Amino acid sequence: MSIPQLITIDGPAGSGKSTLGRLLAIRLNYLYFDTGVLYRVVTLEGLRRGENLEDETSIEDLVEQISIDVRPASKNDGRSFDVLLDGEDVTWEIRKREVDANVSVVSAYKGVRRKLTEQLRRIANRGQIVMVGRDIGTIVMPDADLKIYLDASVEVRAKRRYYELQERGENSSFEEVLESMRTRDLIDSTREIAPLEPAEDAIVVDSSSLTIEQVIEKVLGLVNGLREKSSQL
């Protein structure tokens, strides 16, 4: 069996973990899966239905009522894969600022995380996959072969997200994005269930002053190191 079969990349919003995960999967010919899309889909549907996102029971029930699927990209518009909600393509809908502002609330619910974690584990157990999220190395797949925690300063991360929104034609100021990210960091790191933090055996990579290519090369070096150790056993 080749090593590693499962690579997890956790980290705060805007750290670049999705970009790293996608490009790393391409280099390794692995499946790339951004686990956060599941929570975004639930958040989007809650907003569409006018649900009170502060009502944990209602949101947990909502998860039981919808079908979420992730498939290979069907369009050449910058997406890494298709995200389907009851068969509807919501790949870009789940990236809107309103979803950004509320997804941390939804993802903090114990029942929601439990139901979605079961789905994530089934996917992870297929092997040869790069999973990106916030608690993959700590909660979802604690036995992963290689765990990366990708970090960056909140200012750098907010700037990246601001440019991303501008490219998609969404009007928002840098100050608004920065404040939203600080709020999200606070919620993610202090929630009772699966708080955002590096796994004890995760390798922390700070991308604040690194290009994406430098980050990829650093992680590929870690992957090759594991492969060499495996070949010596």
More confident residue, 120 or 15: 15
230 lies in some domain: no
Domain span at residue 130 reads 6-225
Helix (H, G, I), strand (E, B) or coil at 51: coil
Mean pLDDT of 43-69: 95
The pLDDT, as a whole number, for residue 7 is: 96
End-to-end CA distance of the chain, in Å? 12
**What's the one-letter identity of residue 185?**
D
| Cβ proximity of 41 and 85 under 8 Å | yes
pLDDT of residue 1: 47
- In angstroms, the CA 223 to CA 161 distance is 28
Q: What confidence score (pLDDT) does residue 232 get?
A: 67
Question: pTM for the complete prediction?
Answer: 0.76
The domain total for the chain is: 1
**Would you state the pLDDT for residue 126?**
78
**Residues paired with 43 in a beta bridge:** none
* CATH code of 98's domain: 3.40.50.300
Edge to edge, the sheet with strand 68-72 lists: 68-72, 81-85, 88-89
Q: Is residue 188 part of a domain?
A: yes
Instruction: Assess if residue 105 is contained within a domain.
Output: yes
Contact 141, 134 (CB under 8 A): no
Residue 1 within any structural domain of the chain: no
Does residue 67 lie in a domain region? yes
Taking only the tens place, the pLDDT of each residue in 69-115 is 877 789 999 888 889 999 999 999 999 989 989 998 998 898 998 88
Residue 116 lies in a domain: yes
pLDDT band at 168 (very low <50, low <70, confident <90, very high): confident
Residue 138 lies in a domain: yes
Could you tell me where the beta strands, DSSP code E, fall in the chain? 6-10, 31-34, 68-72, 81-85, 88-89, 129-133, 146-151, 203-206
